[in-house]
Chains A and B, each alone.
Chain A
Amino acid sequence: MKKKNSLKILSLCGFVIAVQLLTLVTGTQYFLTQLTMSAYYGLVVIGLGVLMGYAGQISIGHAGFFAIGGYLSAALTTHNLLGVAENPLVKLLDQVGFLAMSQDIYGDQLLTVSPWAACLIAVGAAGLIALVLGVPVLKLKGHYLAMATLGFGTIIYRLLLATPYFGEADGISDVPSFTILPALGSLPPIVISGDFSLRVVNYYVAWGVLIIGMILLLNLIDSRVGRALRSLHSSEEAAEAVGVNTAGFKVGVFVLSAIFAAFAGVFITHYNSGIGPSEASVMKSVRYVALVAVGGMTNLWGMLIMGVSLTFLSLRGVFGSMDDAVFGVILIGVMLFAPNGVLSVREFFVTRKKETAE
């Protein structure tokens, strides 16, 4: 990784620790809950950002992938399989060690897929769907691509609303906690759950996941792949002419961003111990696009900062009933006045000046 990036990552780590200490000192630890969720949403935003900013492909269906991740892992870890234990598929899952026995609060036996296995299945499914969808969809451009991804998101939303397995309009609740790491020696286990005593651990897990995702993406865009992607954004024909496999790269990034979104969906579902259909709504997808746009299409750090901070404000309810309207205004404002992101407003004025000087 470039030295500049390492420094930035380090200062981000420092900032994360500082914020936690600050909440501890000021006794405002309740902020940690929203900060944790913001970090997960930030993961979706940076994943989508690489697709939009670097590969130049818009997707208005990323809430769909987020929901696939969240809903699949919620359904798999919640629905009792004891009644269908003789089903060959369930037996197969049992043999590979994907199932776990537990007791619910009434003392009844529960046979469910274990969270790690469910997580892998959910993320894998999202990646696979992205692959199957991406190959034909990414041949489309501009309006067609926007509408196709919007259509995909809407289908997922409708299916979730109409399928009893996914809880229809109620969504899925009582999702168990997710033990990422079992207790090692004297170290306590690392568990994703909304439990108050685990707030600090979860905060660090969420930001850890976000930072790892950020490092992966930063490395990706500095690599040969990243250069290929940027060439694709500026001119697809030219990129193809110099031998870049444009179709392959586009699909690859699409799948990658879907996997990011699905991971965020899985973690946040375990953290909130539930998920509802609103997570799959078109408005959520549009919101991710807005966050990418406001951060700056080719500025991963900008996306991270704006994505996390705006999501945090929104989760804190700062915008009240104007929540969606705020994101609409942001979307229009950014695209009209600062198409390269808010953090590049300066650029806008500088180029304006140049233009008038000429």
Chain B
Amino acid sequence: MSSKLKILVPVKRVLDHQIKPLVNAAHDGVQTQGCKFSINPFDDIAIEEALRIKTHRPQDVESTHAISIGVDKCQDILRNCLAKGIDGVSLVETNESLEPLAIAKLLAHHVKQQNYNVVLMGKQAIDDDSNNTGQMLAALLKWPQATNACKVEFNDSMTSCKVTREIDGGEETLEAKLPLVITTDLRLNQPRYVGLSKLMKVKRVKIPKLSITKDFPQVDTTNKLNVLSVDEPQTKSPGIMLKNVDELVSKLKDAKLI
């Protein structure tokens, strides 16, 4: 029996990776005012992978859909996904900063309702660096998980998938039956840029919105952790510039490092 893929790509809006985060005055997060926000880079790789699967095997893909959970401004990254060629998007609007478990519960609910059979998502968000949500979603759905993917190959009948994943000492390859959660690592692909003309075309598209209270009434999204403070890491005293290799060797020797 063969099946068609119905792919969901959850995407997160994060402080752009080129901005150096600075702790805010209240010591409860980082400064965000006036800062550029973008799609989490690993999620961008997941979007790219979904688009490539669709391009290579159009007859085997029913649809690709991106979803974001967050503030109204997440519309920007969703619009970007549309401009790149994702079929549909939706925004679960909330001003709360939800923990990975809460996000995974919302996503699991959505996946069951909409009958997705593949979830492709970034391995971690570059803001909280948790690396949690994909594994949690797989657990809640009782699906297999293939995290840190650097190569994804579906079989001919789209019923199983071979995933090569990056691990500490190298790589390993797994084979899982669908449905499946795949999280993406850096080397899976190189995301495309989207041109201005394509962005203009989706500029006025209305992004469908969902509400946690109305559309996910039975999902408990209470946070379980309490962030007491956010602080700058200790900075070391500035280093010494040395004149030549001899100086370096004697410094290292004094410090008993060689």
Tell me, yes or no, whether A binds B: no
* Chain A interface residues (CB < 8 Å from chain B): none
